[in-house]
Amino acid sequence: MFDQTRNFIRYISICLLLLIQSAFAQAQPHIEKWKEVGRAELSVLWFDVYDAVFYTQNGAFESFSSPLQLSLDYKRDISRDDLLTETDKQFARFQVAKETRLIWLTQLEKIWPDIKEGDQLIFQISTSGKADFFHNKLWIGGIEDMQFSEAFIQIWLSDQGEYPELARKLKSQ
């Protein structure tokens, strides 16, 4: 009886460990399958804002809807409100309708934290078009809307964006 109880407890412990490992693996960005395309630094006036690294599965930029990853390593504190305001400004630049922007910004407000100097924010587009966000390598939320994913990544990769030189460096052009 004692051996059966001990074996049952061991079995349950192993199952729980595997379940926790699986959940943790899904909560991490899958950097190892990505190949670097390019990197750049964003500075505004005399302020360094972040270092950016752009990845795809084959190491080349193909389209705004392809699976991809953008990693931003922040060099200064930025409040969530400031991130949302700047993101709204960039969406407007790409002529995203105000109603759509409001929906997206409401979703982002629930996901994004305040950023501290040294923090990392990672954005990924999956093969299904889902947008996932990671803060310091931990998953913080996602948006299942291909239109959002494409509009969001254009902020960094479009030549018509506010920082075309940054886009060219990230795309290695």
Q: How confident is the model at residue 64 (pLDDT cuts 50, 70, 90)?
A: confident
Distances (CA, A) of 151 to 7, 13, 22, 158, 161: 53, 45, 31, 10, 11
Domain range annotation of the chain: 30-170
Q: Please give the CATH number for the structural domain made up of 30-170.
A: 3.50.70.10
Using a pLDDT cut of 70, give the percent of the chain over it. 82
Mind listing the pLDDT tens digit for each residue in 3-52?
665 554 554 544 333 444 444 444 555 555 899 999 999 998 889 999 99
SS3 32: helix
Name the pTM for this structure: 0.80
